[in-house]
Chain A
Amino acid sequence: KAGVTQTPRYLIKTRGQQVTLSCSPISGHRSVSWYQQTPGQGLQFLFEYFSETQRNKGNFPGRFSGRQFSNSRSEMNVSTLELGDSALYLCASSWTGETDTQYFGPGTRLTVL
């Protein structure tokens, strides 16, 4: 069974631009969660989608948004990029998003110049 895939793997953007990242979950998984990883803050939860609905959201500004499609694939968008948005963005999928294992993709490395 294929794992979680994320595209693109690397991105370089400039301040003020916007970016869209994509995540394809493991087949059959309906929950997709997004995390931001930085050296200073570690791994922080952004949001979670289940059956095309955002079910939970972390403490990030409204510039961070996401959506989920009927095939469970998910995208996250960051608008008006800031230097501090440079990070590794990880998505994870699970069957239900409740107390079951989340499997991570390789991440998208975003650099904001």
Chain B
Amino acid sequence: GESVGLHLPTLSVQEGDNSIINCAYSNSASDYFIWYKQESGKGPQFIIDIRSNMDKRQGQRVTVLLNKTVKHLSLQIAATQPGDSAVYFCAEIRNQGGKLIFGQGTELSVKP
């Protein structure tokens, strides 16, 4: 079946450390991937995206890596800060008319 799943439901890191959040997807036809951050009581906030013809994309303190061979996506956050504490979702879209398929989410907790 089609699914985008996350390996770990929770991740705890020390402030200043780097964080890596992983995501596996099952459909090799996926065109586009997005990472979202959701804080309590808010809607998902766009972090970074990557298209299927790319392997890596960098933003401000964030990097997304896409490994199509093993259908794996990861989000790396450099120098993690307390404000990064949230639930992170990966999502994929397959050119199907606005339908994002979400993973279950990973809760990132940053210890001061």
Interface residue ranges, A against B (CB under 8 Å): 4, 31-33, 35, 42-45, 48-50, 55-56, 58, 90, 92, 94, 97-107
Q: Give residues 96-110 of B contacting A (CB, 8 Å).
A: 96-105
Q: Judge whether A33 and B99 touch: CB under 8 Å.
A: yes
Q: Does B51 contact A (CB under 8 A)?
A: yes
Q: Which residue of A lies closest to B92 (CB)?
A: A99
Which one of A55, A106, A107 contacts B98 once the chains associate, using CB atoms below 8 Å? A55
Q: Judge whether A92 and B100 touch: CB under 8 Å.
A: yes
Please indicate which of the listed interface residues B45, B89, B95, B97 has the most CB atoms of chain A within 10 Å of its own CB.
B97
Q: How near does chain A come to B32, taking the closest CB pair, in angstroms?
A: 4
Which one of A4, A32, A43, A99 contacts B102 once the chains associate, using CB atoms below 8 Å? A43
Q: Does B83 contact A (CB under 8 A)?
A: no
Which one of B31, B36, B104 contacts A99 once the chains associate, using CB atoms below 8 Å? B31
Residues of A within 8 A of B32 (CB): 99-100
Residue pairs across A and B with CB atoms within 8 Å: the count is: 72
Contact sample, A vs B, 10 pairs, CB 8 Å cutoff:
A42-B102, A55-B98, A56-B96, A99-B32, A99-B51, A99-B93, A101-B49, A102-B98, A102-B100, A106-B43
Residues of A within 8 A of B36 (CB): 104
Interface residue ranges, B against A (CB under 8 Å): 31-32, 34, 36, 41-46, 49, 51, 89, 91, 93, 95-105
Given A56-B99, A101-B49, A106-B41, 13 other A-B residues pairs in contact with their CB atoms under 8 A: A4-B43, A42-B102, A42-B103, A42-B104, A42-B105, A48-B98, A50-B97, A90-B44, A94-B98, A99-B95, A101-B46, A102-B46, A104-B46
Residues of B within 8 A of A44 (CB): 102
Q: Which residue of B lies closest to A55 (CB)?
A: B97
Residues of B within 8 A of A45 (CB): 99-101
A99 to B100, CA, bound (A): 10
Q: How near does chain B come to A64, taking the closest CB pair, in angstroms?
A: 15
Residues of B within 8 A of A100 (CB): 32
Q: Which residue of B lies closest to A104 (CB)?
A: B43
